[in-house]
Amino acid sequence: MSLSKKGEVHLKALQLPTNFPAVIHQNNQVYETFYFAGNFADQADGPNLYQTVGLTTWRQWTEKSLPDNTSQFFWKGYIPMMRTILNDSKNDHSEKPSSHSTR
């Protein structure tokens, strides 16, 4: 999001940063974490059947890009990001050799 000059001056006067991360990702040898700031998954008009084939694509195409339309972020930002995170995690786990012995 863009910050107005007035907003930037106000934040700097309070010694606050002018940008805030929405997602913080940490990865080490033991685990991988994601922290989502704010109300990322809050979506009042979510469908009853989240796994309906094609629903996400249809909503991404048809969701109006208006400033007051909060559901566009859910369908055009949150869902694609979660898909990427989950697919990357799945791929990472399938590439690592299993620590379990099969005797």
Residue 101 pLDDT more than 50? no
CA atoms of 58 and 69, how far apart (whole Å): 16
Its pTM surpasses 0.75: no
Write out the two tokens for 96.
């690592």
pLDDT at residue 23 is higher than 80: yes
Whole-number Å distance between alpha carbons of 73 and 82: 12
pLDDT digits (tens, 9 = 90+) for 32-69: 898 888 776 666 665 565 666 777 777 777 777 766 66
CA distances from 35 to 22, 49, 100 (A): 8, 26, 30
∠ Cα 7 10 13 (to 5°):
150
- Rounded to the nearest 10 degrees, how much is the dihedral formed by the CA atoms of 37, 68, 58, 44? 60
Ordered by start, the domain boundaries in the chain are 5-95
